[in-house]
Structure 1
């Protein structure tokens, strides 16, 4: 793990292709999601996209993990292991994915709802709740990213995320023991990026800081359990869950989301924040 929190301009530029390759893998997964496909098949699609792009799936570099993505379904929040179970209409699937390219990393997550006619009981209520939790998580992520654009200290990001969650209707559980992180040559670096207020201010936010902002929410309690596989984190109350994440960098001229093709422009527009590409 790097000892310095801050990267040079040239190092930040090297991170952009890795972010775009990560986004391409998630785009391929999104295009393939349908009833009947398994998360193991989605994992293969993401791996092919990354390797065809000249990269390496960085999740496979994590000791003890052999897949390209984490696939968390319904009440699973994060770290779900891909398997051969066919997805059904209405399933809520959070896909977390990363690519390493030319020695630098990207990391991103999106939540998808499998299309098609939902046959489970209370289908309309299920779909409404799935959308509520996913939309709230996504909104919290963008609120955190927008705050990063002008933050003086890193923990301003967690405050913005918590405020955004509090503004949502209905119960939401904000996981406290799972956080965002720094990123660069390693997928997980310092500093810790909290998704809630903490007393300390955190590192100074200035040019050279590269982080992953990734709120994880349930539709109820923030309490979670871990499956016997040692990886899959589930909501303790069985409520549906969601995970959204982007890799974000601050440089001398502004901020850029490396894992979004537009640098985050669409997601940041409502906040009046305009991302600036690296020159």
Structure 2
């Protein structure tokens, strides 16, 4: 769906499956099969340094599902912009949203052609709703917002849920993640929401050694940036935080999840949902 849109050469020309990629590593942690040996080796290295990383990945996924369900059911949101989609697993954003309101419309954005190929094959919409898939990067907010497939799918005069789940920690400060989020939110009307989760070192007694294989897809900035609570909350500047505010991904509206819940240290991920007034 991206043919004819101006931009860089297709990323498929630059893919190196011998180098780990976060989306494929995350798929491995979730028990998926859409990954390569480099992703598995990198995932195992991360697990050696942070043994509960698979728990963190699962809880992050469950947070996404709870947040989408809340927005579709309680806030009446019918449009979702999901950036950093990842390789499809069960209960993706559009599946959760459309199970509540079949007319929901979802745009997925990712910068890995392997992710996009799976998305186009597996993420099919209800007849009443719509989905689209963009080859773009969070660091390219103008490209995302101007993309004709986004404009055909979403009505930016009506509220949109901006989903940035487990993606912001791949953008270092010198790549201006705060500016990118602000630009995306500026383009959305009042009543829109930001849904985000982010890796943190706040709950760790000492930061684990950085695993090898953290770089991905030839990107020298492809490392996880651990931000503290204040740094994460800064992404929600000007927004009204939905209860319970900033919390562990394992604790955000998790009353009906299996008990006992993982500890904040076991997941080491913050989560929050904010509404644009």
The TM-score normalised by the length of structure 2 is 0.32
Q: Which has the higher strand share?
A: 1
